[in-house]
Amino acid sequence: MSSGASAVTIERDLAYATVDGAELCLDIYRPAEPGAPVVVYVHGGGWTRGDKGADGDKRLAPLAAHGVTVVSIDYRLAPRAVFPQQLHDLKGAVRWLRTHGTRLGLATERLGVWGASAGAYLGSLLALSEGDSALEGEVGGNVEQSSAVQAVVHWFGQADLEASASRSELEARILPFRFEADLLGTTDPAELAERARGLSLLSRVSPQAPPFLIAHGDRDRIVPPSEGLSLHNALGRAGARCRFELLAGAGHEDAEFDSPAMLASTAAWLRAMLG
């Protein structure tokens, strides 16, 4: 960690819910400044792997050093957990933070969500599904609290699950990842397309969407940059606020996203949106 990041205080393994006898936990990365804005971080890993601590040293603590409290959460993973359980977990974490914000000394009236790859899709769907009873769930209780967020950072994530799941035979051989099948619990192409159709972020944008900051690498071969651009264009047409950054020469989960300049600009945007 840089000297700035070393000033960040980390609180680990706070349980926000218990599901099927197992605790779901979160970590809090606190900057030195009191009253800093809060962003919930959703890790990537194709919905099948990863955890809340994986990006701590290279990404979360350095961003927190720029004056944003980062709350990194664990959520249930596919294929054992089938959608929408992952989204129920995210919403449960947001409600838990709002319930316990005062006790924790966190400014949780306005919250951001920040996701990478598969986490970017989940975080964006969280932001675009306020009031959707099927996606809200009751994980962790606190159902009197809102799960809405007021800013979204979307890094190299999917926007249209149906399009990203629909690979030709050749594409499937070159890029054999079928993360969407694990997430949605089916390998049948027709059933997969049907389930994915209603989960496109593009169909959920509205003028009421919170501001988005979308960043993608122009050499991403896992999730093409056209996904991020499509989301940006859909939000713009709906009248929502959106900024799109295309990183030259960057691939999927590229180190460029964790560069000091990128983390500083992302933190500045979050402070502006949530301040």
Residues assigned a catalytic role: 117, 220, 252
Contact 39, 111 (CB under 8 A): yes
**What proportions of the chain, in percent to the nearest 5, are helix, strand and coil?**
40, 20, 40
Exposure letters 53-66 (e unless 16+ CB within 10 A, then b): bbbbeebbbbbbbb
From edge to edge, which strands make up the β-sheet containing 69-73?
Answer: 9-19, 22-30, 69-73, 37-42, 107-116, 151-155, 212-217, 242-247
| Residue (of 1, 67, 4) closest to 34 by Cα position | 67
> Can you tell me the distance from the alpha carbon of 108 to that of 92, in angstroms, rounded to the nearest whole number?
14
Peptide bond into 84 cis (omega under 30): yes
Specify the pairing of strand 9-19 against strand 22-30: antiparallel
Contact 54, 119 (CB under 8 A): no
Peptide bond into 207 cis (omega under 30): no
As given in the structure block, the two tokens for residue 183 are 């997430």
> Can you tell me the distance from the alpha carbon of 153 to that of 131, in angstroms, rounded to the nearest whole number?
21
Rama region for 61: left / alpha / beta (φ>0; ψ in -120 to 50; rest) = alpha
> Can you tell me the distance from the alpha carbon of 115 to that of 102, in angstroms, rounded to the nearest whole number?
25
